[in-house]
Amino acid sequence: MLKKEKINFILEELNRLYPKTPIPLSHQNKFELLVAVLLSAQCTDERVNQISPILFKVANNPFDMEKISKEKIYDIIKPCGLGPQKSKAISELSKILVKKFNGIVPKNFEELEKLPGVGHKTASVVMSQGFGFPAFPVDTHIHRLAQRWGLTNGKSVTQTEKDLKKIFPKEAWNKLHLQIIFYGREHCTARGCLGIKCNICKSLYPKRSNPIKTKK
C-alpha cells in the first residue's frame, strides 16, 4: 500500500468508526478545560472526570481558584497523581491569569506555554479543543500508533507531531487526534495489538508478523 493510500485508508476507517469526536475531558469553560488537561498528565481521563467536578464546585474560574490554598487543591486532586506539582501549578497559573489576563485563558501557544504546568501538549489540547485552532496534540496513544502505522520514526513525541502534521490535511487535525486516541484505547492497545492484530495494522501491513516495539 502506497503512503497516500495508507493515509486515505486511515482517515476513512477512523471516520467510519468515529464520525463524532466528543471531547474526553468534561468542562464548562476554557479555564476548566485548561485545569482538566493539566490534571490528565499521567492520569486517565476517567479519573480526571471523577475528580475535576469536585474541584470546580469549589472554584471553576481563576478568580476563585487563586483564593484557595495549595493544600486544599491538593486534597481534592490527590487521586489524579502528581498532586504537589499539579496543585502548585493550578494555584500559580490562576494568579497569573487574574493578574496578567484579567482571568481569561490566553488564545495562543506562546502565552499558554508560559503558564506553570503547561507544556506544549497541554497548550495544543486547549488551542484545539477550547479554541478550535488547528493543532495536533500527541499523547502516548498517538505516538504509539503513528509508529505502528509507519507514519513516523518515533524518535520523539515532538518529531511525531511534525510528521503527522506534514501528511494529514490541516482541517482534519482537531478531529483526527481524538479519533486516533479513541482507536488506540479500543482497538490498537499497548499490549493487545502490538502492531499486528487490529484492523488498521493488519490492513496496512498484512505480511507483518513481528510485534512493533514502540520507541519512547
Q: Please give the positions annotated as active site.
A: 121, 139
- CB of 141 closer than 8 Å to CB of 182: no
Q: How far apart are CA 188 and CA 180, in angstroms?
A: 9
DSSP 138: -
Question: To the nearest 5 percent, what fractions of the chain are helix, strand and coil?
Answer: 60, 0, 40
Q: Which amino acid is at 31?
A: F
CA distances from 113 to 84, 108, 144, 190 (A): 20, 9, 24, 29
CA distances from 120 to 12, 108, 109, 138 (A): 28, 11, 8, 10
- Size (the chain), residues: 216
Q: Shortest CA distance to 204 belongs to which of 140, 164, 145, 150?
A: 150
Exposure string of 151-169, with b = 16+ CB inside 10 Å and e = fewer, is bbebeebebbbebbeeebe
